[in-house]
Each structure stands twice: as C-alpha cells, then as structure tokens.
Amino acid sequence: MPRYGSGLTAELIHELNTKENLTLTEIGARYGISPQAVSKIKSKGKLKTPREVAMENFPWPGMDPKFKRSVPYQRITDHLEYVVTGGTGMSKAKLTELRRWYKQFGKYNHVLVYDPTIPPRQGMQSGGWGLEPRVESDADLLIRENEYTTLSDAGREIWRIPDRFPEI
C-alpha cells in the first residue's frame, strides 16, 4: 500500500533495490520521501533484500567463531556478497580471489566441505574445512551437504557455482 501519495510499494522498493541496486536513501530521493518512510513501507510489505535471504539460508548456523578466521570462510562470505550484489561495490582484490577460487572448483573438480572435526592443515590456525573430490550428489554446488551443513531450497541456488565469474 503506497504511503504519502508517492505511489511507492514494498514490491517496488524490492525491485528498485535488487534490479537497480538503489539504497533506501536513493529510493526516497527519487520518490520525494525520507529514507525512514521508505523503510517503513518496505517493512510493511515483509519483502526481504537478497542479503537478508542469503543470511537466512546460511548453512552453518551457530558455527564456532574459530572456523570463521580461515581463508575458506572468507571466500564463502565473498561468494555470498557476490551472489547478492553481482560484484557491485566489491574490491578488485576480492573479485580476483573469488574468480581464482571458482576456477579451482572446475579445474580440480572439488567441493568445499565443512566439518568441525577436520584437523588444521600445515599453516592453518584452525581446521574445519576441506576440499574433496566432487561426487554426483554435489551437483553444481560449491559446498557439500553433510551432517554439519544444511541446505534449504533457496540455499541450493545461493551455493551454486556461478554461471559467469566476476569481471575484473
């Protein structure tokens, strides 16, 4: 339902946010209302941003923080950012590393596995992550579903190897 005679709806906010990558401030300026008013309209519609959807489908809730200080975890968060933004606003260094990471999955036909019982490898502060040969059940996913990793239907889309790699 529009507010302040602007014609703005939660659905339109969602579309402007996801397709045109506009912030609430930019949407408000375009429609002549405050960012707070845009936020209120958005919240009434219960639509979520791609980032909110991605975090709701994070496959490792309650992960021990020690496993978050690793290169695999960093690439995972970079992947989420890339899925959400299409690379817009990401640094060249992040995109370069992410592109290299994606290519490794194809070159070596591996999948990333999270298992807190995996010991640290040489030079790693913590374990928990491993690259394993891809099996048929992995399909085109970056990560393997196991007893520590739970994928929702939306998560199966989020955690796919992208069709196109980041432009650098």
Say if CB 8 and CB 47 are below 8 A apart.
no
Spatial CA neighbour of 24 closest among 40, 7, 2, 47: 40
Residues 129-143 have pLDDT tens digits of 999 999 999 999 999
Query: What is the sign, positive or negative, of the torsion defined by CA atoms of 76, 77, 78, 84?
Result: positive
Tell whether 133 and 64 lie within a shared domain. yes
Domain count, the chain: 2
Tell whether 39 and 21 lie within a shared domain. yes
C-alpha distances out from residue 84 to 18, 53, 55, 76, 146, Å:
9, 9, 10, 12, 24
Of the two residues 112 and 125, the one the predictor is more confident about is 112
Tell whether 153 and 70 lie within a shared domain. yes
**Domain contains 3:** no
Tell whether 120 and 75 lie within a shared domain. yes
C-alpha distances out from residue 56 to 8, 22, 72, 150, Å:
26, 22, 20, 12
Which structural domain range is residue 92 located in? 53-158
Tell whether 146 and 132 lie within a shared domain. yes
**Domain contains 5:** no
**Domain contains 71:** yes
Tell whether 39 and 121 lie within a shared domain. no
**Domain contains 93:** yes
pTM of the model: 0.69
Residues 3-15 have pLDDT tens digits of 444 678 888 888 8
Say if CB 111 and CB 138 are below 8 A apart.
yes
Tell whether 38 and 85 lie within a shared domain. no
Tell whether 37 and 97 lie within a shared domain. no
Tell whether 92 and 153 lie within a shared domain. yes
Residues 72-101 have pLDDT tens digits of 999 998 999 888 888 888 899 999 999 999
Tell whether 34 and 60 lie within a shared domain. no
Tell whether 90 and 24 lie within a shared domain. no
Whole-number average pLDDT of the chain:
86
C-alpha–C-alpha distance, residues 156 and 161, integer Å: 10
C-alpha–C-alpha distance, residues 157 and 84, integer Å: 12
Tell whether 40 and 85 lie within a shared domain. no
